[in-house]
Amino acid sequence: MIHLTQPGTLFQDQYVTRASELLQKWQGEGVHSYGLIGVPLAKTSISHSGAHLAPAAFRQSLSGFTTYATESGCDLQRERIIDFGDIAMHATDVIESHKRIKDTLYELLQKNEKLFPIIIGGDHSVSYPAIAAFQQARGKTAVIQFDAHCDVRNLHDGGVTNGTPFRKLLEEKHIEGDYLYQVGIRNFVNSEAYIHYVKQAGVRMVTMEHVTAVGIQNVMQNILHEVEQKADHLYVSLDMDVLDQAYAPGCPAAAPGGMSSSVLIEALSLITRSPLFSGIDLVEVDPTVDFRSMTSKLSAYMVLSVLEKRIR
Amino acid sequence: MIHLTQPGTLFQDQYVTRASELLQKWQGEGVHSYGLIGVPLAKTSISHSGAHLAPAAFRQSLSGFTTYATESGCDLQRERIIDFGDIAMHATDVIESHKRIKDTLYELLQKNEKLFPIIIGGDHSVSYPAIAAFQQARGKTAVIQFDAHCDVRNLHDGGVTNGTPFRKLLEEKHIEGDYLYQVGIRNFVNSEAYIHYVKQAGVRMVTMEHVTAVGIQNVMQNILHEVEQKADHLYVSLDMDVLDQAYAPGCPAAAPGGMSSSVLIEALSLITRSPLFSGIDLVEVDPTVDFRSMTSKLSAYMVLSVLEKRIR
Amino acid sequence: MIHLTQPGTLFQDQYVTRASELLQKWQGEGVHSYGLIGVPLAKTSISHSGAHLAPAAFRQSLSGFTTYATESGCDLQRERIIDFGDIAMHATDVIESHKRIKDTLYELLQKNEKLFPIIIGGDHSVSYPAIAAFQQARGKTAVIQFDAHCDVRNLHDGGVTNGTPFRKLLEEKHIEGDYLYQVGIRNFVNSEAYIHYVKQAGVRMVTMEHVTAVGIQNVMQNILHEVEQKADHLYVSLDMDVLDQAYAPGCPAAAPGGMSSSVLIEALSLITRSPLFSGIDLVEVDPTVDFRSMTSKLSAYMVLSVLEKRIR
Amino acid sequence: MIHLTQPGTLFQDQYVTRASELLQKWQGEGVHSYGLIGVPLAKTSISHSGAHLAPAAFRQSLSGFTTYATESGCDLQRERIIDFGDIAMHATDVIESHKRIKDTLYELLQKNEKLFPIIIGGDHSVSYPAIAAFQQARGKTAVIQFDAHCDVRNLHDGGVTNGTPFRKLLEEKHIEGDYLYQVGIRNFVNSEAYIHYVKQAGVRMVTMEHVTAVGIQNVMQNILHEVEQKADHLYVSLDMDVLDQAYAPGCPAAAPGGMSSSVLIEALSLITRSPLFSGIDLVEVDPTVDFRSMTSKLSAYMVLSVLEKRIR
Amino acid sequence: MIHLTQPGTLFQDQYVTRASELLQKWQGEGVHSYGLIGVPLAKTSISHSGAHLAPAAFRQSLSGFTTYATESGCDLQRERIIDFGDIAMHATDVIESHKRIKDTLYELLQKNEKLFPIIIGGDHSVSYPAIAAFQQARGKTAVIQFDAHCDVRNLHDGGVTNGTPFRKLLEEKHIEGDYLYQVGIRNFVNSEAYIHYVKQAGVRMVTMEHVTAVGIQNVMQNILHEVEQKADHLYVSLDMDVLDQAYAPGCPAAAPGGMSSSVLIEALSLITRSPLFSGIDLVEVDPTVDFRSMTSKLSAYMVLSVLEKRIR
Amino acid sequence: MIHLTQPGTLFQDQYVTRASELLQKWQGEGVHSYGLIGVPLAKTSISHSGAHLAPAAFRQSLSGFTTYATESGCDLQRERIIDFGDIAMHATDVIESHKRIKDTLYELLQKNEKLFPIIIGGDHSVSYPAIAAFQQARGKTAVIQFDAHCDVRNLHDGGVTNGTPFRKLLEEKHIEGDYLYQVGIRNFVNSEAYIHYVKQAGVRMVTMEHVTAVGIQNVMQNILHEVEQKADHLYVSLDMDVLDQAYAPGCPAAAPGGMSSSVLIEALSLITRSPLFSGIDLVEVDPTVDFRSMTSKLSAYMVLSVLEKRIR
Ligand SMILES: [Ca+2]
Ligand SMILES: [Ca+2]
Ligand SMILES: [Ca+2]
Ligand SMILES: [Ca+2]
Ligand SMILES: [Ca+2]
Ligand SMILES: [Ca+2]
Ligand SMILES: [Ca+2]
Ligand SMILES: [Ca+2]
Ligand SMILES: [Ca+2]
Ligand SMILES: [Ca+2]
Ligand SMILES: [Ca+2]
Ligand SMILES: [Ca+2]
């Protein structure tokens, strides 16, 4: 008698659906649901980063979760996530890589009006072509950027990097200043010139100190109120380093003074109630410096929580 | 002049009592106090686990603590913990190992009516023979299980594992469903079928989302109120993965969305006030993947806190 | 324009064939060439072992090599390795797991007379059902066991473990003592009783000290000369801990005093010249304690070298 | 064309000032501002400690922060920190090393009345000569010691160590008992004899349990109220192990049950409002056991926060 | 009395000269001796590499060695190594980075005829601009490349990377095929197409298998004999992955089957006798994945050995 | 039925004697055989060292070996090693610690004429009081020091450290220069002044380069021939950093260019034939930076090999 399994399948419980089973390989068909798109780009990072390995770590982490939420009773099995694979990056030419990101996402978003993209970076530079494509394909978009950093560095000193996505988006008019909400901006990791820049540009910037002082609920309610009055779409750009280093040790720029994971989950939970919410990216997870995949697991858990709260 | 010490004794302060000194090697005598029993079994784990090394790590961690609680002024020196050693496991036969656990604990508990067992796993499978023995030796027992998972998997797919202890206890009638309280059950690590199973079985299941919403104090007061009306004994089964991965990184199933250590300590503190509380196990600590023994140290700290609160 | 790749494919050079491409998923057809069979079993290990993760690590390591040997000019692209996947292990019942190994291998070997099995453990216990099945399906087989240890422990103290495969094979008459060649047996990791046992049983045992004294070439030539006079088949059981810990740091029983990797490669090279050589297992690699997958990479390199030398 | 940079300068943004740029190498001039003084001493530690490497790690961590606080708009560029380098330690003679600490600090403090010393240990033993020198050079000083431990061990069992700084200070009358405030003293890491000792000595001791019960704000307001009525100066001795192990994993005595980093930052923030606050030491960070320099980064962040709050 | 040292100077023995003291910061003067030039470029790497951190690790490793060779009695104190610092890399534009390498080296080599460059990569891509500049500034150059890989990948699949330096050098005619000697080329890490390519191009390629068979002494004597008959200069390009993974665990492409460090040292020792030898690069050390800086220390030791053998 | 074992005893094979069982706790009796004496001192180390943890790691490593040598058939069970425990070190006063080492060893050696001491450091500084005591108790002693370093630093710069043991022994006339044999002295880790010093002092110094050139057998035969003509006793001081870093990664000063483990074992094997050989120390193993206890295991294996060769 022959007992063989797929390589690597060490144990399977017939009554358990792994969250990774939600992923369905794209066969070229039209997509009306969630779509997972990996963007394995980290050569745009200023510091040494293995964030291009995050899409693989994210998919792997999904297999550590089930599809079921115990309190609400929601089972994500009703949902489908089409896995488009990873966007093919050039080995060294980052301008070409950005172009491929924008072209690929634009075409996917335009051909699939109901596609809700879940974009897994890579470093934060990928949000520049991603948001540009989203805005161009879908129309008037507000962006909530969770981040310790403003990411509006000058382009002269290092070209296009993970320090410049929102500078590029603002300068090339892909997005107006007052359609960008930056939440969790921290002390001692930004500079006066760039805070001045975002204020001049009309960006809605909320410091971590302010979040602590007034509470995440107030912060988010005010933002969502504004967004719903002016935008057609809401896109979330989630730089995992908005979290404190104790919760997200695997970010290249992990540092103290950030959010706890429960505060960030509450923020996302409030966002899911908005009907405008139609796209998200998660960036800046470097699996090579993580501890026991904690940060990858947390990013997978965030995405599952978003899916469940949108169903409720 | 000869200056020799026991091997490995690098420094000793004469005014400090190490918590490890509370341990007294069992000489076969009757025991009327706390008894430490190691259960080095991890081959029952579904995933790769070094939890069989936890009893040694627990004892080692005790030596990093003193016996004194500063705020209350309690000194645990008045207490005695008899160290029964570890239950001898078979190298590969897990059914035989479970039998040895049950036989050994039953005989110890039956011969020592006042023995308060502190059982250090091992993985969670050890709670099946442990609770069965406890119930058989002592009578009507309510169990509070702190856990991210229900642990009621079907027995067909993998036999008796760390995913099945409460399934076995319920099916073999060692415990009625409404005598089992599961606290901290989390999203995306359980499946619909098993949540359905525990609800059908009458198990009192409290999700982590509910704990966050109403507070641990309310949760525990309700549970203790119920328990005191129906049971003769209260046993706590503490799976350390009920904690968030930031606090307990050394659990095989460490994941986000769990309790902080202070919430768990508060829960245990409330439990110690109940006169029914008469046994505990701590399971699912894998020293081989821990960081600086943080999770082992936390489990030792939990036990010391329980002892101190019971004296007060 | 859409630029998508398979998840995880970060770079591909069109003129390079990865050794992992030699693997072809088995579709149930008859197999007349090499067959890769993973045996993810480590719960039979006496010490804590993650060797069940070695088949996955082995396949992963193949992707780090190409198919081409520069000196000989052989390209393994002409070869095919059918990947049968992993034999499905029971979660806890090791006797059942051994039965599945034997049944599966027996059926595969019997139905496929020309199949050259490449069996990737798992710990060394898997060689007991593997060699039993091989001998039963193929006939009179000599075994060369590269190992620091004799692996003939008594069965009473721990049942069937990675310390007993050759004891079981001898006692159950799957193999006669003088058909077993143990090479690389080391000082201070075996005991007098067991060396006595193998000598009594007529096993040809060659110590590491002897290998160093007379040279691996002499040792192997003598063995191969004997084997070719009495056996119909030659099977190699390669416990990677025959290597010195500097070369194979990822073995559970890594220790000093062993072979260098070049000596072992020379030994295998000599074996490949024998027309009787028709099966091999590689065991005792624990990827969870390895450094930069060195030991997994070395085991993959060994297999590729064997394939190339057989072509020459 | 030549493109050369200082070794190790991988990227520089012209609009960003690194906090490490605040450091100016001391040229022997009079100093009226902050002064950084490294004290690389860890051979006084009871347990194995690499805390002598903390000054280098602290300076390195500063280079990971900027000088700008986003909420307040303060830019520390207006501040100057004179870097005096490290005090030269004897390779083995710790009494000589303590003497050098005291002599060096005394002379620096006496010659520079306005110097605000920021002393980076080393282990906690360095606070004994440091506070002695501070008190002698500046006059009537209250000390707030953040610590899990009282550090008043007897001097007989191990001589002068990181367990004795406050014992020495009290016994040699460098400081009266009621001028010493110990905050965060924890259960099971102190002993009855030493708690008795500090109470007898009139030390104001606040347990971690009390901090949790009444809140850090109340605790600090009471302390500061008392201090301002009796002392001329306020010195903070910050043992990073007052923090919970989840926030400060790199302390030799990292343990559960401690402060979160936000609670400690709030405490320091309240202290900075006191005009008496005129010196600080940070001790007990061991970079060799830290994870991703988290604890070093947190200590740098603490110092920057103190500087910013004092400007406001 | 003040005892201060430079930050980080933990101990200094007055009779010991650290090899790092040989480094003298370049002040713009003409250089007639050795020159150290860091090239911190790793974004050209196909796989994830931290090799841009190798120049800093190399300088740090020098401080772990002295200047004295015990057997020969040579003291390198008579030598001077001018440290030119690192060539400034662009954050993302690798073509620009290569241009800066070539321009910088060309200008330095041309203005300093007697400069012996010691170029510390970075990944192997840096040898393309480095050797081009060397050849252009100095004339007819033979190159001995120690490497497990040929590094002549096609340029279409990934552009200019660490897999293409010698392809570029050959195609752009910076060097003729028969002036390139590749030593240590290994099985299963190259492909047939590229071996074919180098043979067609007239490259002198020596496999690792051949080195083992005939001995490094024979190999090098033949090469040096040829070189001295046709070239004006001899440049060594040392990819540390020519070494076996047991000796150089910190190379991105660390693999089994390579040279021992003593064989490589012997090869370099023979090269130093040639009067044509006038430049070297060391590449492919990734300090972020090394163990205890072993590979960085070995590269520093190699350079010191070269210096000493040239004096003899 | 009760199944209890000693804590931590996970498996026991009745036919195997662990080498750790050779250790018998000293009960104050006279000792005529081997004696193990731990010397947990590392605060004398110039660089950061955890070598004081080596005695515990050594004993632990013994438990990973058996007592039986396969080739010779010797079983060490006939031998007895009395474990005297560790010499009690002062927490900070290293002069006092050295005094305790000397006093303790002197008294043990003098009272036990036939005691063969096996002294486990600690760093190399312990050999100063150890050899002084040996010489004083036993008489005219030749010392073979295996080491990469001469260890004769001046005493002014750092007092008595692990860089000075042989300086102290020579200066205080505990040993004449021509009774000291230093083997394996390496390039670039010593300085001219100190090589000059040892030559002036008449020390027999053999460089690693010389060992490689003439072979370890020749080196040792010459030394042993000399020793046997002038000395009454032969003592071996084995600094494990004489080994190459690939074989002994856990030494604080691990570096390239050293001996392979098989060369060192051959050297020790030759020494055991000398009837004068009557004491040994093993030093400079730091378990906190080792990989998988490789260096501790190698030191245990060395001691077992010495015992076995002496029996033969
Ligand atoms: Ca960002
Ligand atoms: Ca960020
Ligand atoms: Ca559980
Ligand atoms: Ca659980
Ligand atoms: Ca074996
Ligand atoms: Ca073995
Ligand atoms: Ca302290
Ligand atoms: Ca403390
Ligand atoms: Ca290369
Ligand atoms: Ca290479
Ligand atoms: Ca030494
Ligand atoms: Ca040494």
Provide the chain E residues 196-235 that lie in CB contact (below 8 A) with chain F.
Answer: none
Query: What are the structure tokens assigned to E178, written together?
Result: 């028969």
pLDDT tens-digit map of A62-92: 999 999 999 999 999 988 899 999 999 999 9
pLDDT tens-digit map of D211-229: 999 999 999 999 999 999 9
Taking residues E133-150, report their average pLDDT.
98
Q: Report how far residue D285's alpha carbon sits from residue D295's, in angstroms, rounded to the nearest whole number.
A: 7
For residue A13, say whether it is annotated as part of any ligand binding site.
Answer: no
Neighbours of chain E (3+ CB pairs under 8 A): A, C, D, F
D187 Cβ under 8 Å from any chain B Cβ: yes
F98 Cβ under 8 Å from any chain D Cβ: no
User: What are the residue boundaries of the structural domains of chain F, listed by start?
Assistant: 21-311
Say if the Cβ atoms of F86 and B40 lie within 8 Å.
no
Distance from CA of A3 to the nearest CA of C (A): 5
pLDDT band at A11 (very low <50, low <70, confident <90, very high): confident
pLDDT tens-digit map of F17-48: 999 999 999 999 999 999 999 999 999 999 99
The answer, yes or no, to whether C and D have at least 3 beta-carbon pairs within 8 Å is no
Give residue D98's pLDDT: 97
pLDDT of C8 above 80: no
B157 Cβ under 8 Å from any chain A Cβ: yes
**Topology of F21-311 in CATH?**
Arginase; Chain A (3.40.800)
Ion ligand 4 residue ranges (Cβ < 5 Å): B 147-149, 239, 241
Residue of chain D whose alpha carbon sits nearest to that of E53? D8
Q: Report how far residue B124's alpha carbon sits from residue B45's, in angstroms, rounded to the nearest whole number.
A: 8
Query: In sequence order, which residues have a C-beta less than 8 Å from that of residue B265 and are 6 or more positions away?
Result: B302, B305, D257
Taking residues A16-20, report their average pLDDT.
93
A293 Cβ under 8 Å from any chain B Cβ: no
Give residue A225's pLDDT: 98
Taking residues C243-262, report their average pLDDT.
97
F270 class by beta-carbon count within 10 Å (0-12 exposed, 13-18 middle, 19+ buried): middle
F75 Cβ under 8 Å from any chain C Cβ: yes
Distance from CA of B44 to the nearest CA of C (A): 6
**Topology of D23-311 in CATH?**
Arginase; Chain A (3.40.800)
Give residue E311's pLDDT: 86
Q: Report how far residue E215's alpha carbon sits from residue B15's, in angstroms, rounded to the nearest whole number.
A: 67
B103 class by beta-carbon count within 10 Å (0-12 exposed, 13-18 middle, 19+ buried): middle
Give residue D311's pLDDT: 86
pLDDT tens-digit map of D272-300: 999 999 999 999 999 999 999 999 999 99
Residue of chain B whose alpha carbon sits nearest to that of C125? B92
Taking residues A10-19, report their average pLDDT.
89
For the domain made up of A19-311, the CATH class stated in words is alpha beta
Say if the Cβ atoms of A91 and C11 lie within 8 Å.
yes
pLDDT band at F253 (very low <50, low <70, confident <90, very high): very high
Q: Report how far residue B51's alpha carbon sits from residue B283's, in angstroms, rounded to the nearest whole number.
A: 8
Q: Which residue's entry shows tokens 């699996």?
A: A287
Averaged confidence pLDDT in chain F: 96
Give residue C269's pLDDT: 96
Taking residues F264-281, report their average pLDDT.
97
pLDDT tens-digit map of A147-163: 999 999 999 998 999 99
Mutant choice from A10, A70, A216 vs B, greatest count of B C-beta within 10 A? A70
pLDDT tens-digit map of E64-99: 999 999 999 999 998 989 999 999 999 999 999 999
Distance from CA of E110 to the nearest CA of F (A): 32
Which residues of chain F are within 8 Å of residue E292 when distances are taken between CB atoms? 245, 249, 254, 289
Which residues of chain C are within 8 Å of residue F66 when distances are taken between CB atoms? 188-191
* CB C256, CB C287: distance < 8 Å: no
Distance from CA of E216 to the nearest CA of C (A): 16
F114 class by beta-carbon count within 10 Å (0-12 exposed, 13-18 middle, 19+ buried): exposed
pLDDT of D9 above 90: no
Taking residues C241-258, report their average pLDDT.
98
Q: Report how far residue E79's alpha carbon sits from residue E297's, in angstroms, rounded to the nearest whole number.
A: 20
Which residues of chain D are within 8 Å of residue B81 when distances are taken between CB atoms? none
Say if the Cβ atoms of F261 and C244 lie within 8 Å.
yes
Averaged confidence pLDDT in chain A: 96
Q: What proportion of chain B, given as a percentage, has pLDDT over 90?
A: 93
Q: Report how far residue C10's alpha carbon sits from residue A203's, in angstroms, rounded to the nearest whole number.
A: 36
- Write the DSSP string, F177-238: GGGEEEEEE-TTSB-HHHHHHHHHTT-EEEEHHHHHHH-HHHHHHHHHHHHHHH-SEEEEEE
pLDDT tens-digit map of E6-33: 887 778 899 999 999 999 999 999 999 9
pLDDT band at B2 (very low <50, low <70, confident <90, very high): confident
Distance from CA of D244 to the nearest CA of B (A): 9
ipTM value for the complex: 0.94
Give residue C311's pLDDT: 86
Q: Report how far residue F89's alpha carbon sits from residue F45's, in angstroms, rounded to the nearest whole number.
A: 14
Distance from CA of E165 to the nearest CA of A (A): 14
The answer, yes or no, to whether C and F have at least 3 beta-carbon pairs within 8 Å is yes
pLDDT of E2 above 90: no
Say if the Cβ atoms of E297 and F189 lie within 8 Å.
no
Q: Of A50, A91, A158, which is closest to E161 when you measure between CB atoms?
A: A91
Say if the Cβ atoms of D91 and F50 lie within 8 Å.
no
* CB A176, CB A135: distance < 8 Å: no
pLDDT tens-digit map of B75-117: 999 888 999 999 999 999 999 999 999 999 999 999 999 999 9
pLDDT tens-digit map of A291-302: 999 999 999 999
pLDDT of B171 above 90: yes
pLDDT of F129 above 80: yes
Averaged confidence pLDDT in chain C: 96
pLDDT tens-digit map of D84-133: 999 999 999 999 999 999 999 999 999 999 999 999 999 999 999 999 99
**DSSP letter, residue A259:** B
Residue of chain C whose alpha carbon sits nearest to that of E194? C15
Residue of chain C whose alpha carbon sits nearest to that of E197? C15
C40 Cβ under 8 Å from any chain A Cβ: yes
pLDDT of A10 above 90: no
- CB contacts < 8 Å between E and F, how many? 96
Which residues of chain C are within 8 Å of residue F13 when distances are taken between CB atoms? 153-154, 157-158, 163, 191
- Cβ atoms within 10 A of the Cβ of E144, count? 26
Say if the Cβ atoms of A1 and C108 lie within 8 Å.
no
Ligand number, closest to the Cα atom of E251: 10
Give residue E46's pLDDT: 93
Residue type, A151: D
The answer, yes or no, to whether A and B have at least 3 beta-carbon pairs within 8 Å is yes
Averaged confidence pLDDT in chain B: 96
Taking residues F293-298, report their average pLDDT.
98
Give residue F100's pLDDT: 97
pLDDT of F10 above 80: no
pLDDT tens-digit map of E246-286: 999 999 999 999 999 999 999 999 999 999 999 999 999 99
Distance from CA of E311 to the nearest CA of A (A): 39
CATH 3.10.129.10 fits E20-311, yes or no: no
pLDDT band at B9 (very low <50, low <70, confident <90, very high): confident
Q: Report how far residue C39's alpha carbon sits from residue C33's, in angstroms, rounded to the nearest whole number.
A: 19
* CB F146, CB F184: distance < 8 Å: yes
For the domain made up of B26-311, the CATH class stated in words is alpha beta
Least confident of D189-203, E8-22, E250-264, F245-259: E8-22
How far, in Å, is the centroid of ligand 1 from the Cα of A206? Answer: 14
Q: Report how far residue C37's alpha carbon sits from residue B85's, in angstroms, rounded to the nearest whole number.
A: 41
Which residues of chain A are within 8 Å of residue C38 when distances are taken between CB atoms? 7
pLDDT of B10 above 80: no
D103 Cβ under 8 Å from any chain E Cβ: yes
pLDDT tens-digit map of E200-253: 999 999 999 999 999 999 999 999 999 999 999 999 999 999 999 999 999 999
